[in-house]
Amino acid sequence: MTGRKRKNTKYVMGLDVGTTKVCAIIGQQDDDGSLSVLGVGSTPSLGLKKGIVIDIDQTVESIQKAVQKASNIAGVEMHDLVVGIAGGHIQCHNSRASVEIVNPSRGVTRSDIVRVNSRAKALAMPVDREILHSIPQEYVTDSGSVKNPKGQVTTKLEVNVHIVTAAVTSVQNLMRCVKQAGYNTNGILLESIASSEAILHEEEKELGVLLIDLGGGTTDIAIFSRGHIRYSGVIPLGGDNITNDIAYILKISLFDAENVKKKYGCAMASLARPEEIFTVTKVVNDKKETVKRQELADIIDARLEEIFHLVRERINATSVHDKFYAGVVITGGSALIEGIAELGEKVFECPCRVGIPHGLKGMTSVVSSPIYATGIGLMRHGFTDALNQPPNGNGLYDWIQKNLLRLLSFFK
């Protein structure tokens, strides 16, 4: 630790283990409560497919590299982190439960709130799945819907919760990677929730907003309205599919396709001029050929429209499909494609913007990119960890049991 700042509880690290990159972000909470980014370390991710760990050793190596880079820049040695999770195994649903209040005149107590929440998440869960988050949306008392029922006089307390479940093996593999890399998992958070904490404004969550995190291997979606998450889901398609399409149609290498996409790509042919052209090298005969930017836009447009229509299909099946009055916010690395917001507006028929992390100090020129939305959200979550805190009261037993089981699984 020579020459380094001492470990301090005011530092938090977010770790985004994505399909294309692993990114560690170290932040510090200043005395006035504001957050400063002290270090960012990003390295290519080689051990994941569609958001799921498929190679532990490669993932461990990427985590170590990313954390070391971030630590060197920050001058802080970190041991604990908040890690993000995604992948097609993630499922969500809304649940409702109610309890009688034994002594209504005394008002709702903390233990009543714990009791109703425990009941809402007491689900028949297959052995291969676990509850990742159980997020209270709103409480209902005799006088109607309330955000915080504590102290309210009522005979009955109801709660609506958003429950996110994950495959036990996927969670354990991710945590195993973090542990083998030499770090402690202090919290685990659904990536779309993490991104939302970095890029959405409270007013958007209140009015209703659809968040789309277009990464490399997955597209994570979440709907917020009246301040709370209403739907979350993961579609196993992303920017890598666009790169594959470009390589296949233009008959060029994946490496060239990725570069061409980043350099000349746009989401709609109407945004490119007919005279805009670029040169590619064909894989078969190594010959150079010119391609119109509009042709490239057509390839990208087709795949993006497919992804957006899949998003629409998913949300049309929910009860909140028409509740995003604040529009759509697109983030993740693929949100850097020129014209993506315009395409989003066309498909979703509402206002659409690209979401970048906001409200931060330090390294803003680096992290003001949709690529860092998840990492920043995870770091931010570390300071306001509401979802993974051990609840007081009856829930403490559940928390200890769940986390002890997780810990023991490493030694099996």
Ligand X SMILES: Nc1ncnc2c1ncn2[C@@H]1O[C@H](COP(=O)(O)OP(=O)(O)OP(=O)(O)O)[C@@H](O)[C@H]1O
Contact between 236 and ligand X per CB under 6 A: no
Residues 82-101 that bind ligand X (CB under 6 A): 86
Q: Is the dihedral of CA 29, 71, 41, 195 positive or negative?
A: negative
Out of 39, 41, 136, 215, the residue judged to bind ligand X by CB under 6 A:
215
In the bound state with ligand X, the residue whose beta carbon lies nearer, of 47 and 239, is: 239
What's the min distance (Å) between Cβ of 265 and ligand X?
A: 5
Q: Which two tokens stand for residue 238?
A: 């992303």
x-marked contacts with ligand X along 260-279 as a string, rule CB under 6 A: -xx--x--------------
x-marked contacts with ligand X along 7-46 as a string, rule CB under 6 A: ---------x-xxxx-----------------------x-
In the bound state with ligand X, the residue whose beta carbon lies nearer, of 81 and 108, is: 81
Please count the other Cβ atoms lying within 10 Å of the Cβ belonging to residue 41: 24
- Tokens 């690529």 correspond to 371
Contact between 216 and ligand X per CB under 6 A: yes
Strands 184-190 and 80-85: parallel
**Residue 336 binds which of ligand X, Mg ion, none (CB < 5-8 A, kind-dependent):** ligand X
- Tokens 């001029």 correspond to 273
Q: Which two tokens stand for residue 84?
A: 């993000």
The CA dihedral of 333, 205, 152, 319, to the nearest 10 degrees, is: -90
Contact between 339 and ligand X per CB under 6 A: no
What's the min distance (Å) between Cβ of 211 and ligand X?
A: 13
Give first-to-last CA distance, the chain, whole Å: 33
Contact between 120 and ligand X per CB under 6 A: no
Query: Are the beta carbons of 165 and 102 closer than 8 angstroms?
Result: no
Return the DSSP state at 7: P
Out of 27, 41, 187, 239, the residue judged to bind ligand X by CB under 6 A:
239
E strands present in 18-57:
21-29, 35-44, 48-49, 52-53
Residues 41-80 that bind Mg ion (CB under 5 A): none
Q: Which two tokens stand for residue 93?
A: 């649903």
Contact between 136 and Mg ion per CB under 5 A: no
Q: Taking contact as CB under 5 A, which single stretch among the options 164-172, 209-217, 274-282, 383-391 is the one that binds Mg ion?
A: 209-217
Whole-number Å distance between alpha carbons of 65 and 166: 27
Whole-number Å distance between alpha carbons of 405 and 120: 22
Contact between 158 and ligand X per CB under 6 A: no
E strands present in 48-88:
48-49, 52-53, 80-85
What's the min distance (Å) between Cβ of 42 and ligand X?
A: 8
Residues 47-66 that bind ligand X (CB under 6 A): 51
What's the min distance (Å) between Cβ of 6 and ligand X?
A: 32
Strands 11-17 and 21-29: antiparallel
In the bound state with ligand X, the residue whose beta carbon lies nearer, of 120 and 373, is: 373
Residues making contact with ligand X (CB under 6 A): 16, 18-21, 45, 51, 86, 215-218, 238-240, 243, 258, 261-262, 265, 332-334, 336-337, 371
| Contact residues: Mg ion, CB under 5 A | 18, 215, 374
